[in-house]
Structure 1
Amino acid sequence: MTTLSLVLRPERPEDAPAIDRLQARAFGPGRFARTAYRLREGAAERMDLGVTASVGSFLVGSVRMGPVRAGPSAFVMLGPLAVDPSFAGRGIGGTLTRAALEAARQAGEGLVILVGDAPYYTRFRFAPVPPGRLTLPGPVDPARLLWLELQAGFCAGVSGLVEAVRA
């Protein structure tokens, strides 16, 4: 693994164009059809929880979080997590994920959900959502709907259709 001079910092509004370009490189046009993307479309963003990674002046990674709810329970959804393909496999995604989760803990969030690969996210203590507890407004492989409880007992009352909090 090559050592990078990686600079992490909170996302800023002026990062939006570079993040859009990064997501296009990382995910391609198919990203628009995914349920997680459609859930986030037009939704509010928790700028205080977003984190960027740069090498020099080049944005190489980004992770965002947005507010969601299921019934009366409000929590956050992690994603998208994007790393420039030319920097893949260097630990940037993990570094960004840990930073965003720490920001969520510091902000007092009780729960983070995401749609992603369980083998990747279990190292951060994400686990599959128990069957029938949460649903998304579109097709999602249930094995990819994951959650991480940040406040003990928070998940006990969480169930239902996940909806984005709109901007």
Structure 2
Amino acid sequence: MTNLSLVVRSERTEDAAAIGKLEARAFGPGRFARTAYRLREGNPHRLDLGVTASVGSFLVGSVRMTPVRVGDSGLLMLGPLAVDPSFEGRGIGTALTKAAIDAARAAGEGLVILVGDAPYYARFGFAPVPMGRLVMPGPVDPARLLWLELTEGFAAGLTGPLAPGGGTAPAR
């Protein structure tokens, strides 16, 4: 990372407006058409697991975790991971992702999924979900549906459609 006075901290309620503006800058209006947003729409993210990054008073990055479920099993969906376009390539996304995974692990969560670039997320331990194990509520390139097991054995036998909700404790 270059010499930025970057502050990475837990998300706060008052960050919501700045995060909305950041996501608009990072992704544009097309972000609402993505399948991952179908799971997030009307499904509040876990504020206790959200992480932000700021340089001075300017919010330059954010990542959130949203509770989702497969049957009775609660898990988390990482994203969106947003970094202000003028701050890309400086390690902010890496710092945010690590912090969010650490927070989820500390909270006792069992599994994190995301839709993203496998080579980028592999450095954090994410791997493609085996074909047909989890079904998104819309079209997704199967190579981009990734998961990271935080509790050994959590993913064993987990199969079915993903739906909003859950994510606070395994209901197995």
Question: Under a length normalisation based on structure 2, what TM-score does the superposition of the two structures give?
Answer: 0.94
Distance (whole Å) between structure 2 residues aligned to residue 32 and residue 66 of structure 1: 15
Q: CA RMSD in A?
A: 1.0
The list of structure 1 runs, each at least 4 consecutive aligned residues, that deviate by more than 2 angstroms after superposition, is none
Unmatched runs of 5 consecutive residues or more in structure 1: none
State the 1:37 CA deviation: 1.4
Which one has a larger percent helix, Structure 1 or Structure 2?
Answer: 1
Q: Is the Cα–Cα contact under 8 Å of residues 83 and 92 in structure 1 kept in the other structure?
A: yes
Partner of 1:137: 137
One-letter identity of the residue aligned with 1:94: T
Distance (whole Å) between structure 2 residues aligned to residue 26 and residue 165 of structure 1: 26
Secondary structure of the equivalent of 1:124? Answer: coil
Distance (whole Å) between structure 2 residues aligned to residue 44 and residue 153 of structure 1: 27
Partner of 1:63: 63
Distance (whole Å) between structure 1 residues aligned to residue 38 and residue 59 of structure 2: 24
State the 1:158 CA deviation: 1.2
Q: Is the Cα–Cα contact under 8 Å of residues 73 and 157 in structure 1 kept in the other structure?
A: no
Secondary structure of the equivalent of 1:154? Answer: coil
Secondary structure of the equivalent of 1:152? Answer: coil
State the 1:157 CA deviation: 2.6
| Counterparts of residues 100-115 of structure 1 (less than 5 Å) | 100-115=100-115
- Paired positions, count: 166
Question: Under a length normalisation based on structure 1, what TM-score does the superposition of the two structures give?
Answer: 0.97
Cα deviation code 1:101-143 (max 9, x no counterpart): 0000000000000000001000001000000100110000000
Q: Is the Cα–Cα contact under 8 Å of residues 7 and 54 in structure 1 kept in the other structure?
A: yes
| Counterparts of residues 1-167 of structure 1 (less than 5 Å) | 2-165=2-165
Unmatched runs of 5 consecutive residues or more in structure 2: 167-172
Q: Is the Cα–Cα contact under 8 Å of residues 77 and 114 in structure 2 kept in the other structure?
A: yes
